[in-house]
Structure 1
């Protein structure tokens, strides 16, 4: 399995993903509000794992520039369709991962990764690359499921079975405490750790970290 497999999975599921309802609309809106409050009007923002661009279209209007990226060509194609119908001058979309971007060329005031970190292949390496892509004291803002803290049946039975039949992507299994430790070890100071969910018992912390 590789990032090529990951891209293929998301390409296959892109159209279904695009029309799926947000599971927790109130929690999602809280995340948007908290993030908007942290992004300065002059900010250059990078979003990793943007999917079909829903969050990018909601946040891009308040910043200087907003680059939204995803590993899936089909996801980005849908995002561009949505952008064409609802233009945001500051917003652009690109097929890319954190590892495909060059820190010496592109530097950002904030990097966003929503429902992203549990899907990357090399979490410590990705966090180090995010650190390198940020300007001094830039913000990394993330919210991602901590599968290690969830029901053991999910991580030990359901997830492996779904992956085996191609119904689930690669997913990292880590606990919230482990995620915080990895973010700190990559050169960040954690400023905020919140829970935004309004229903269900999914452990998906909203973390704001500043580049040291």
Structure 2
């Protein structure tokens, strides 16, 4: 398994993913509203793991520039089709990972990673890259499943079995406390860790961290 195989997985399921309903719509709306309070009209924003662009299309109109990226070319193709139907001048989509974006490509005032960090293969390395991409005192905003806090049967039996038959991509397992430690170790000060779920057990903390 490799990053290339992860990209192929997301390419393969892109159309099904685009049709899937958000499991906790109210919780998602809460996260969007919280994010809006943290972004300003002059901000340059990078979103990592944007999928088919749903969040980018909701947030991009409120900032100066918004670059939304994903590892999957098929996901980005769907996102670009959505954008063509309702253009937003500040928004661009790009097939890329955090590692593929060099800091000299331009500093960002905020980097967003929603449902993202648990899907990267080198979490500490990715966090260091995000730190490098941010301008001084820039914000990293994350909301991602912490599988270490989930039912052990899911992470120890179900996920490995699904990966073995090509039904799941690589997934990194960590607890919420471990994730906070990793973010801090990468050079961030965490200013907030919140629960936005409106149903079920929330294993996806919404974390706001500032570059130090």
What TM-score do the two structures reach when normalised by structure 1? 0.99
Residue 100 of structure 1 corresponds to 100
- Equivalent pair of 2:44/2:63 in contact (CA under 8 Å): yes
Secondary structure at the aligned position of 2:69 is classed as: strand
- Equivalent pair of 1:150/1:202 in contact (CA under 8 Å): no
- Deviation, 1:86, is 1.2
Secondary structure at the aligned position of 2:145 is classed as: coil
Deviates more, 1:195-204 or 1:17-26: 195-204
Rounded to whole Å, the distance in 2 between the matches of 1:2 and 1:163 is 12
Residue 186 of structure 2 corresponds to 186
- Equivalent pair of 1:44/1:63 in contact (CA under 8 Å): yes
Q: What's the RMSD between the two structures over aligned residues?
A: 0.5
- Deviation, 1:23, is 0.2
- Structure 1 residues 7-156: aligned runs within 5 Å: 7-156=7-156
Rounded to whole Å, the distance in 2 between the matches of 1:51 and 1:159 is 21
Secondary structure at the aligned position of 1:127 is classed as: helix
- Equivalent pair of 1:149/1:175 in contact (CA under 8 Å): yes
Secondary structure at the aligned position of 1:104 is classed as: helix
Unaligned runs of 5+ in 1: none
Secondary structure at the aligned position of 2:203 is classed as: coil
- Deviation, 1:40, is 0.6
Q: Can you list the C-alpha shifts for 1:67-101, whole angstroms capped at 9, x where unaligned?
A: 00000000000000000001111000000000000
Q: Can you list the C-alpha shifts for 1:25-57, whole angstroms capped at 9, x where unaligned?
A: 000000000001100100000000000000000
What TM-score do the two structures reach when normalised by structure 2? 0.99
Residue 171 of structure 2 corresponds to 171
Rounded to whole Å, the distance in 2 between the matches of 1:106 and 1:171 is 29
Unaligned runs of 5+ in 2: none
Runs of 4+ displaced beyond 6 Å = none
Rounded to whole Å, the distance in 2 between the matches of 1:140 and 1:92 is 19
Secondary structure at the aligned position of 2:198 is classed as: coil
- Deviation, 1:202, is 3.8
- Deviation, 1:200, is 1.4
- Equivalent pair of 1:102/1:133 in contact (CA under 8 Å): yes
- Deviation, 1:201, is 1.4
